[in-house]
Amino acid sequence: MNLVIDIGNSRIKLALFNERDLMFNVPLDELNVAHLQLLLDEHADLKHAILSSVREYPKELKQFLQKSFKYFIELDASTPVPLINRYETPDTLGKDRLAAAVGATEIFPGKNVLVIDAGTAITYELVTANNEYLGGNISPGLNTRFKALSHFTGKLPLVESSDDFPMLGSNTPTAIQAGVQMGLLFEVQQYIEYFNTIYENLEIIITGGDAKFFDKKLKNSIFVNFNLTLIGLNRILEYNVKET
Whether the model pTM is above 0.85: yes
Domain 101-228, CATH 3.30.70.20 — does that match? no
* CATH architecture of the domain formed by 1-74: 2-Layer Sandwich (3.30)
Q: Which residues are catalytic?
A: 96
- Sketch the domain layout of the chain as residue ranges: 1-74, 101-228
Per-residue pLDDT of 145-159, as tens digits, reads 999 999 999 999 999
pLDDT for residue 10 is more than 80: no
Q: Is 87 annotated as a binding residue?
A: yes
| 14 has a pLDDT exceeding 70 | yes
For 145-204, write each residue's pLDDT tens digit.
999 999 999 999 999 998 888 899 999 999 999 999 999 999 999 999 999 999 999 999
Residue 38 above 90 pLDDT?
A: yes
pLDDT in tens, 74-97: 999 999 999 999 999 999 999 999
Same-fold call for 1-74 versus 101-228: yes
For the chain, where are the alpha helices, taking DSSP H only? Answer: 33-42, 59-68, 95-107, 142-151, 172-196, 211-214, 228-243
CB 42 within 8 A of CB 66: no
Residue 11 assigned ligand-binding role? yes
pLDDT score for 163: 86
Please check if 29 is assigned to a binding site: no
96 among the known binding-site residues? yes
More confidently predicted of 141 and 220? 141
- State the DSSP H helix or E strand holding residue 207, giving kind and residue range, or none if neither: strand 203-207
**Residue 237 φ then ψ, to 5°:** -65, -50
Q: Please state, rounded to an integer, the average pLDDT across all residues of the chain.
A: 94
